[in-house]
């Protein structure tokens, strides 16, 4: 194993262990104080409230690790899709943006190589040129994987893989967020914010009054540290939850929102036009409930026919 891989594995283990420690550790301190949680779980008062709180902790951790371990939409590099890319490369001229102009002959060659090599299991095989390909369209080439990328795909340098409907690489999870796990990431943010708000309320009500600052700090030091952690974490999570809710409503990704002017299929459109916005209800359904991978070329073709043939 190379040094870089060892470092990445170590960083991943540290980040996820630290997150688990914080999520469990902060509530654990409340069990040793005169808090609502202590009265519920230790003294047996309002047991249902304590059980609900424990379920919130477990649900937040479940969403965290589900997001971490769900394949975000990696595209497997195979000899077939690399061969297709090389065939196109020998036939076509690459422009400064590394986009290929596709003609009839190159499309047919790519179809012949790819049609029987699509895997819709844990990893998406690079089936770059589908039946929706049309002459004159432009397709992005990944210089790292040497494959033709489906629309909304981006190469993640941290994971060293191309990710379908790439959103971002999250350092707090040490994982990519893409088409397959974005919904779980949003549910993680939602459940974590609910947990933080509940824990903040319990902690705030556990503070004990003392006549002097020194006595107060000695009595409430741990609770004060908890409040600081909860406040900072709550502000970050609330900001992320609000932003990703906006992306969900609009049918966008973080990458598209932040780098629109550098993305081939968006930079030639009007600044306020989003070809992937299918309306609030459909956006919510596709984000939260749709399990299949979408062919974004179809959506784009319906909404942006006048975009100079660029997809």
The residues annotated as belonging to the active site are 170
Q: Which residue has the tokens 């916005």?
A: 277
Contacts of residue 139, Cβ cutoff 8 Å, sequence gap at least 6: 99, 100, 102, 128, 129, 133, 148, 149, 311
Query: Strands 99-101 and 138-142, how do they pair?
Result: antiparallel
> Looking at residue 257, what DSSP letter applies?
H
Which class for 129: exposed (0-12), middle (13-18), buried (19 or more C-beta within 10 A)? buried
Q: From CA 75, how far away is CA 142, in angstroms rounded? A: 11
Q: From CA 291, how far away is CA 281, in angstroms rounded? A: 16
The structure tokens listed for 275 are 């070809």
Query: Strands 74-76 and 124-125, how do they pair?
Result: parallel
Secondary structure (3-state) at 259: coil
Pick from 203, 201, 163: nearest CA to 185: 163
Q: Determine the straight-line distance between the first and last CA of the chain, rounded to whole angstroms.
A: 38
User: Which residues, in sequence order, are bridge partners of residue 120?
Assistant: 124
The structure tokens listed for 193 are 């914010």
The structure tokens listed for 236 are 């970050």
Q: 77-109: buried (b, 16+ CB within 10 Å) or exposed (e) per residue? A: bbebbbebbebbeeebeeeeeebbbbeeebbeb
């Amino acid at each position: 194993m190379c040094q870089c891989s060892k470092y990445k594995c170590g960083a991943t283990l540290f980040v996820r262990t630290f997150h688990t420690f914080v999520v469990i550790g902060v509530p654990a301190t409340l069990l040793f104080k005169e808090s609502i949680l202590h009265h519920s779980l230790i003294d047996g008062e309002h047991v249902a409230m304590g059980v609900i709180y424990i379920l919130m902790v477990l649900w937040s951790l479940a969403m965290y690790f589900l997001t971490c371990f769900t394949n975000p939409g990696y595209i497997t590099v195979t000899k077939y899709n690399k061969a297709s890319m090389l065939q196109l490369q020998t036939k076509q001229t690459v422009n400064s943006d590394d986009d290929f102009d596709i003609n009839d002959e190159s499309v047919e060659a790519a179809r012949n190589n790819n049609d029987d090599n699509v895997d819709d299991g844990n990893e998406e095989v690079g089936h770059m040129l589908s039946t929706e390909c049309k002459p004159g369209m432009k397709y992005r080439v990944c210089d790292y994987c040497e494959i033709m990328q489906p629309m909304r795909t981006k190469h993640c340098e941290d994971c060293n893989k191309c990710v379908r409907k790439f959103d971002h690489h999250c350092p707090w999870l040490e994982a990519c967020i893409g088409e397959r796990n974005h919904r779980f990431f949003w549910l993680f943010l939602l459940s974590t914010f609910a947990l933080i708000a509940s824990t903040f309320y319990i902690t705030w009500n556990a503070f004990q009054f003392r006549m002097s600052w020194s006595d107060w700090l000695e009595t409430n030091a741990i609770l004060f540290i908890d409040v600081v952690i909860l406040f900072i974490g709550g502000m970050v999570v609330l900001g992320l939850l609000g932003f990703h809710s906006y992306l969900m409503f609009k049918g966008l990704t973080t990458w598209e929102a932040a780098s629109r002017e550098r993305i081939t299929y968006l930079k030639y459109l009007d600044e306020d036009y989003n070809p992937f916005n299918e309306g609030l209800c459909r956006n919510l359904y596709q984000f939260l409930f749709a399990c299949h991978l979408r062919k974004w070329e179809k959506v784009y073709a319906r909404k942006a026919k006048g975009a100079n043939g660029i997809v």
